[in-house]
């Protein structure tokens, strides 16, 4: 996956455990974006990162970022495969709602720590995908698999919008 270290302005961070069916959808979206190279065409310095099941150790990767997009399976109280985008303060509101996976709690802690330490990127978004199952399994369920292109498009749309409105 592409990465430019300190020169990176935007981080795309896929979260999840790929051993738990739909829980790993964030990682699958990052892999799809990396394979398609579509993010490279946006005109920003972008790094793609498989954040796995997350942890506060990822906080150091936020330093110096202008923008962050996190992709994760989330409880959205919606049909499986539903994709929703949250930006700015909407992220905190979503992360403090009902949790379905353990790393949603860790993501809330990570985002709070970024705010407290002053390393939260100015632009940030969360692309959440409603899982159908988080049981043991190596592949996503059909509704979530079908949502991966939609989630990729949501990420690319955010990048394009942010690029158009860059300061």
> What are the tens digits of pLDDT across the range 25-81?
999 999 999 999 888 777 678 999 999 887 788 898 898 899 999 999 999 999 999
Q: For the residues 154-165, what does the mean pLDDT come to?
A: 92
The pLDDT of residue 3 is above 50: no
> What's the CA gap between 96 and 119, in Å, rounded?
20
Confidence of residue 19 (pLDDT cuts 50, 70, 90): very high
> For residue 36, what are its two tokens?
């398609």
pTM, two decimal places: 0.89
Query: What pLDDT, on the 0 to 100 scale, is given for residue 4?
Result: 42
Going along the chain from its start, the domains and CATH numbers come out as 5-68+75-164 (3.40.50.1450)
107 vs 31, more confident: 31
DSSP bridge partners of 72: 128
| pLDDT band per the 50, 70, 90 thresholds, residue 128 | very high
Share of the chain above pLDDT 70, in %: 89
What is the C-alpha separation between 161 and 166, in angstroms, rounded? 9
pLDDT over 90 (residue 105): no
**pLDDT tier for residue 104 given thresholds of 50, 70 and 90:** low
Average pLDDT, the chain: 88
How confident is the model at residue 96, as a pLDDT?
80
With contact defined as beta carbons under 8 Å apart, do 53 and 15 qualify? yes
110 has pLDDT over 80: yes
C-alpha–C-alpha distance, residues 78 and 82, integer Å: 6
Q: Pairing relation of β-strands 10-15 and 46-52?
A: parallel
Instruction: Indicate whether 90 pLDDT > 80.
Output: yes
Residue 11 has pLDDT above 50, yes or no: yes
């Amino acid at each position: 996956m592409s990465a430019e270290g300190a020169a990176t302005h935007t981080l795309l961070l896929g979260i999840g455990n790929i051993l738990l069916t739909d829980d790993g959808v964030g990682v699958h979206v990052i892999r799809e974006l990396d394979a398609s190279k579509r993010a490279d065409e946006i005109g920003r310095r972008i790094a793609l990162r498989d954040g796995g099941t997350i942890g506060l150790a990822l906080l150091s990767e936020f330093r110096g970022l202008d923008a962050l997009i996190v992709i994760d399976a989330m409880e959205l109280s919606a049909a499986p495969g539903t994709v929703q985008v949250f930006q700015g303060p909407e992220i905190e509101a979503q992360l403090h709602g009902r949790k379905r996976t353990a790393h949603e709690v860790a993501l809330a802690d990570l985002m709070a720590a970024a705010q407290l330490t002053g390393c939260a990127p100015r632009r940030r978004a969360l692309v959440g995908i409603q899982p159908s199952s988080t049981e043991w399994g190596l592949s996503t369920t059909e509704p979530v698999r079908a949502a991966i292109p939609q989630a990729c498009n949501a990420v690319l749309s955010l990048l394009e919008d942010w690029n158009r409105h860059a300061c």
